[in-house]
Amino acid sequence: MESRSIRMSKRPRTLDAFFTPPAKRARHEKTANSEATTDTSGSDPTKASHHATYPYAISHLPPNVSEILNLAPSTEPRVINDRTDLDLVYYQPFVPKEITKDLFEFLRRELFFYRVKYTIKRGPVETNITTPRFTTVFGLDETARFGGDELPVDSASGKALPKDAYNCKPRPIPQCLDLLRTLTENATGCTFNFCLVNYYSTGQDSISYHSDDERFLGVEPAIASFTLGAKRDFLLKHKPTPEGHASETQPLKLPLGSGDMLLMKGLTQSKWLHSIPKRKGGEADKGRINITFRRAMVRGGTDNYYHYNVNSGELYKWNELSRKMLPWMHTMDA
């Protein structure tokens, strides 16, 4: 689909005005923590996804990985709908076993992540929050698509949007995640225009109980959620009710493993909460990637997702030598 494809042509000069100021833009960028195996700086569009909003080009999936990924889903899913208001479809796994390790290591190495800080205001009290995991996001809501010059345009008319249409600079889903999006759409019959990625580097990274029930997702949103890497417990509990459902106090625990996909749909977001709690030691310290595909209906959804997953958060990239995420720096080469 055009709205999600990556334009491969060279970025026209006019984009500089809209995106990063030219003075800050490196003509040729090097990572301070670069390593030989992840040289994605080449400009060959057949090997990497390019976009003015990316800090660097994102490599395409290696052909041996995408060929096998194309066979997904590799199992029949299990429907879990035996609790009040719960509506889950669980693929154990979705990603073929032969490539889960390579896909995990590839995405951890190639994607850029953020450690986002934001403030919340409750009455007169402002609290500073640092998201307790690494995050990144790609996509654009239904009202827009990426036009010929890489900028968002109105999805119906193709016309340029006013400069202030978004508070953020939306990024297209790179090829290496877009194949998984398409396979997920084919398997589920749902449509997705957003891809959010979490990286839980240790058992101390987490996401607290919440629901993804924002109005910009529309009614009864379907969210497909992938695990790659370490197994982590995923807890679900019913939101408080006057009747006091047993599921409010006895959470459902799904030990999500590498390659698994959980589709949350129906009333799950409006009636249930979910979380990845902190864990001490064990497998969690090997790192876990979570990928969710969602469908945002209106512009506010795009602004919300970039605010909470990119914002002005510090940029990180995986460093193979130290085997951890390190702050990523550009160097001006010219």
Phi/psi class of residue 148: alpha, beta or left (left: φ > 0; alpha: ψ in -120 to 50)?
alpha
Footprint on residues 204-243 left by ligand AKG (CB under 6 A):
207, 212, 225, 234
Query: Which one of ligand AKG, Fe ion, none is in contact with 276 (Cβ closer than 5 to 8 A by kind)?
Result: ligand AKG
* β-strand partners of 49: 58
Question: Which residue number is nearest to ligand AKG in terms of Cβ?
Answer: 290
d(CA 226, CA 240): 27
Q: Which does 290 bind (CB under 5 to 8 A by kind): ligand AKG, Fe ion, none?
A: ligand AKG
Distance of closest approach, residue 222 Cβ to ligand AKG, in angstroms: 13
276 makes contact with ligand AKG (CB under 6 A): yes
Q: How far apart (Å, rounded) are the C-alpha atoms in residues 38 and 55?
A: 14
- Judged by CB under 5 A, the number of residues near Fe ion is 1
Stretch 153-192: interaction string toward ligand AKG, x if CB under 6 A: ----------------------------------------
Q: x/- contact string, 200-229, with Fe ion (CB under 5 A)? A: ------------x-----------------
Give 16 or 212: the residue with its C-beta nearer to ligand AKG: 212
Window 263-282: residues binding Fe ion (CB under 5 A):
none
CA distances from 92 to 89, 257, 282 (A): 10, 8, 21
Question: Is-contact 192 140, C-beta < 8 A?
Answer: no
# residues near ligand AKG by CB under 6 A: 10
225 binds, among ligand AKG, Fe ion, none (CB under 5 to 8 A by kind): ligand AKG
Could you give the CA distance from residue 114 to residue 53 in angstroms, rounded to a whole number? 14
The binding site comprises 198, 200, 210, 213, 274, 288, 292, 294
Amino acid at 176: C
Binding characters for ligand AKG, 191-210, by CB under 6 A (x = yes):
-----x-x--------x---
Coil, strand or helix: which one is 251? coil
CB closer to ligand AKG out of 11 and 307: 307
Closest CA to 328 of 177, 16, 111, 60: 111
Q: Which is nearer to ligand AKG, 57 or 180 (CB)?
A: 180
Structure tokens at 87: 């509506």
Task: Tell me the C-alpha distance between 148 and 142, whole Å.
Answer: 17
- Contact with ligand AKG (CB under 6 A): which of 292, 302, 304, 319? 292
- Does the footprint of Fe ion cover residue 154 (CB under 5 A)? no
The answer to whether the CB of 312 falls within 8 A of the CB of 303 is no
| Spatial separation of the C-alpha atoms in residues 291 and 226, rounded to whole Å | 5
Least distance in angstroms from the C-beta of 128 to ligand AKG: 21
Task: Give min distance, CB of 194 to Fe ion, in A.
Answer: 12
Beta strands in the chain (DSSP E): 48-49, 58-59, 78-80, 88-91, 112-115, 117-122, 125-130, 134-139, 144-146, 152-154, 194-200, 207-210, 223-229, 232-238, 252-256, 261-264, 272-276, 288-294, 314-319, 324-327
261 contacts ligand AKG (rule: CB under 6 A): no
Known binding residues for substrate: 213
Residues forming the site for ligand AKG (CB under 6 A): 196, 198, 207, 212, 225, 234, 274, 276, 290, 292
